[in-house]
């Protein structure tokens, strides 16, 4: 970047800006961006400018050009990203503010329409909509499309919270509300804030991320308890065996933590768990959980009273 003084003479170590001189930084050949020397005694470049003028005026190329990417460079700084993040939160909350009962369905984006899991997710989307729930997904293809499609086809409220990704993700056409997000953490906030339960189909790392975040938030009482249903036991059993044989065996979780998970191969059971938990605040749902099958104490029992050993955040 070339720096010259107001007389367009190149600045050298022997010639530094003096009081009153302006410095031109040539960011691109035909645009001059004039900056004031960082000296409190130097007069402003222009006196009498209003705040509106400072906001509305900007440097432009000397030769007309319709697009100048360097003019937008400031929008890529962290301080500007904070405003963009705030805007995403506002947009997401405004878009979902009228959502009542809702269930989020997670699963792989890679399953084609011919995959058995696609058909199962489509049926569950329909069943949830017919039970009075809005269906929320990540808005993409695969399991997400299937669940949205099932709700959409019976006139249900079908919501897609899409995310910008370099591959895989593109919005599906079976949504009544579609929201695009740049930031994963904003999108994940919407899933948790507006859901009364999660149903999790087989999926990859993104699906596991949502599963364990939900478990952590409920376990640490950052959110009210809601049902977390794992569909397809053959897919999840290996993971659950590791949780029980490693985490539980090492004492890094408690048996009662597994009360938070229900595993099923029956779509009707998944629907019933969701409905029962909505009506009873999960008071009876624990009987279907992984923890109950291990004879863990029910939620609220004396042996599971809140203590630092039980809740990581306390």
d(CA 78, CA 190): 22
pLDDT digits (tens, 9 = 90+) for 285-297: 656 666 556 555 5
Q: Quick one: DSSP state of residue 247?
A: I
Confidence band of 53 (pLDDT split at 50, 70, 90): confident
> What pLDDT does residue 24 have?
43
**Numbered ranges of CATH 3.40.50.450 in the chain:** 90-304
Q: Is the pLDDT of residue 69 over 50?
A: yes
In this prediction the pTM is 0.74
Average pLDDT estimate for 82-87: 93
pLDDT digits (tens, 9 = 90+) for 156-192: 999 999 988 776 557 899 999 999 999 999 999 999 9
Backbone angles phi, psi at 286, to 5 degrees: -60, -25
195 neighbors 185 (Cβ within 8 angstroms): no
Strands of the chain (E only): list them: 2-5, 22-28, 31-36, 102-106, 134-137, 158-163, 177-181, 198-200, 228-231, 261-264
> What pLDDT does residue 212 have?
95
The CATH T-level fold of domain 90-304 is Rossmann fold (3.40.50)
pLDDT digits (tens, 9 = 90+) for 2-35: 444 444 444 444 445 555 554 444 444 444 434 3
> What pLDDT does residue 18 have?
53
d(CA 35, CA 25): 8
> What pLDDT does residue 170 have?
72
> What pLDDT does residue 256 have?
84
């Amino acid at each position: 970047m070339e720096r010259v003084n107001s007389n367009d003479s190149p600045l050298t170590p022997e010639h530094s800006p003096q009081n009153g001189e302006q410095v031109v930084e040539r960011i691109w050949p035909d645009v001059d961006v004039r900056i004031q020397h960082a000296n409190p005694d130097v007069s402003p470049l222009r006196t009498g400018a209003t705040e509106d003028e400072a906001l509305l005026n900007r440097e432009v190329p000397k030769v007309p050009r319709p697009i100048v990417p360097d003019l937008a460079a400031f929008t890529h700084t962290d301080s500007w990203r904070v405003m963009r993040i705030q805007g995403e939160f506002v947009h997401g909350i405004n878009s979902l503010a009228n959502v009542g009962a809702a269930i989020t369905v997670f699963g792989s984006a890679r399953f084609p329409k011919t995959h058995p899991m696609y058909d199962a997710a489509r049926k569950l989307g329909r069943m949830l909509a017919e039970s009075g729930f809005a269906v929320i997904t990540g808005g993409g293809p695969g399991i997400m499309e299937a669940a949205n499609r099932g709700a959409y086809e019976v006139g249900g409220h079908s919501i897609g919270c899409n995310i910008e990704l370099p591959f895989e993700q593109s919005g599906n056409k079976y949504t009544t509300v579609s929201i695009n997000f740049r930031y994963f953490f904003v999108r994940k906030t919407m899933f948790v804030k507006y859901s009364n339960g999660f149903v999790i189909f087989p999926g990859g790392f993104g699906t596991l991320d949502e599963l364990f975040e939900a478990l952590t938030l409920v376990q640490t009482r950052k959110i009210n308890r809601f049902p977390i249903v794992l569909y397809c036991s053959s897919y999840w059993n290996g993971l659950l065996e590791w949780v029980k044989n490693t985490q539980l065996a090492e004492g890094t979780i408690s048996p009662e933590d597994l009360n938070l998970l229900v595993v099923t191969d029956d779509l009707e059971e998944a629907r019933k768990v969701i409905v029962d938990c909505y009506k009873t605040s999960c008071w009876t749902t624990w009987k279907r959980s992984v923890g109950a099958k291990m004879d863990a104490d029910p939620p609220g029992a004396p042996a599971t009273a809140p203590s630092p050993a039980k809740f990581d955040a306390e």
